[in-house]
Chain A
Amino acid sequence: MIGAKVKVNGDIISSEDLLVEGEVSGTITLTDNELVIGTSGRVEANVTAKTVRIEGEVKGDIDGGERVVICASGNVQGNVSAPRVMLEDGGRFKGSIDMGSSKAAATAKPAAAPAATPDVRSIDKAS
């Protein structure tokens, strides 16, 4: 764990799961393990891990071998690549997501509320 009062400048390579509650600038690589950016975690780094869970802030690209989860308190600016990317309502994301291999990740869709009665006044086709 990187505690809330710890700042790291540089590259982190780990073969254990890691919880970041402090600040990290550089890169984080946990190829076969889970990375959690905790609610107080502030990461400005490119991140590679088997699974990535973001409850704090990340600026940088995220490569998740299995999945990336942006939690309700999470804020991500960067590009995400993973077979499964999940976003909790309230989580903020700005950037690109490569969904090329995520078809299998589609699960039950939320039930849609009944649509408002269509109140269409006109339709036109521009010439």
Chain B
Amino acid sequence: MVGLPGRKAGGPAPIPPLSSRLLPIALDEKRLEQIGTLNILDFGRANSASLEFFNQYPCRLCVLDAAEPLLAWSRELGERMEEPPSLQQMQLELSGVLSAIGEHRYDLVFLWDTLNHLHEHALPAFGGLLRRHVTKHFRGHGFMLHKRGAEQQLRQLGLIGSEQIAVHSQLATPLFAHNRKIVNEALGSELRIDQGVLHGDGRLEFLMVSGRS
């Protein structure tokens, strides 16, 4: 897969890419070579640079472009909190929102800011759904709002290297902030945040692994 030059003139100034310490762990070449053909799940929006990056691996890439649908669903869920839906009902609804995920199990999952697109009440349902779609040795990578006052933005992120993440766009948007304890509890025993790096913007970059690995 290759990218084509897009329209650049007249657009907003490019946002500097982010440096990552955890991506190299998620993308450890020896580990990926052992897997062979990778199944990659990307919660973000397709972009030419990410696709070009993934092209170096023999892989099947599933792009969900899930940020806006998940935020809309979570906001609507927030309006139903007087009679909150059951875990099973939320998993059913989430399966509908993320229907492109299919029946596959994924070796690499790029969550980006997805945890902050989810209502707190939906985190266990999301964890349950994700558990069904990852392999025993999967690696998940993402960010979550960590410090109070961290700027809440709807960001479109993508890979541009094994240590760099492009910020294709960002727009001030109310998100759903959760503390790490709540996230860990919601993920259950089969998924866990293995490593975290706190960035200067108040976000925690995290590496998620299977609790079974």
How distant is A74 from chain B, measured CB to nearest CB, in Å?
A: 11
Is B3 within 8 A of A92, CB to CB? Answer: no
Q: Which of B59-67, B107-115, B170-178 contacts A (4 or more CB under 8 A)?
A: B59-67
Q: Which of A91, A109, A113, A117 contacts B52, CB < 8 Å?
A: A109
Report how many residues on chain A are interfacial, defined by Cβ distance under 8 Å. Answer: 42
User: How distant is the Cα of A96 from the Cα of B65 in the complex, in angstroms?
Assistant: 11
> Is B179 in contact with chain A by the CB < 8 A criterion?
no
B200 contacts chain A at the CB level, 8 A cutoff = yes
The answer to whether A97 and B51 have CB atoms under 8 Å apart is yes
Q: How far is the CA of A98 from the CA of B61 in the complex (A)?
A: 6
* A12, CB-defined interface residue at 8 Å: no
Q: Which residues of A contact B33 (CB under 8 A)?
A: none
Q: Which A residues from 80 to 127 make CB contacts under 8 A with B?
A: 84-100, 102-103, 105-107, 109-110, 112-126
User: Please, which residues of chain B bring their CB within 8 A of the CB of A115?
Assistant: 16-19, 163-164
The 6 lowest CB-CB distance pairs between A and B, nearest first, are A89-B6, A119-B200, A93-B46, A116-B16, A118-B19, A121-B198
Interface residues of B (CB under 8 A from A): 1-8, 14, 16-19, 21, 37, 45-49, 51-52, 54-65, 100, 102, 160-161, 163-164, 166, 192-201
Show the binding face of A for B, using Cβ within 8 Å. Answer: 69, 72, 77, 84-100, 102-103, 105-107, 109-110, 112-126
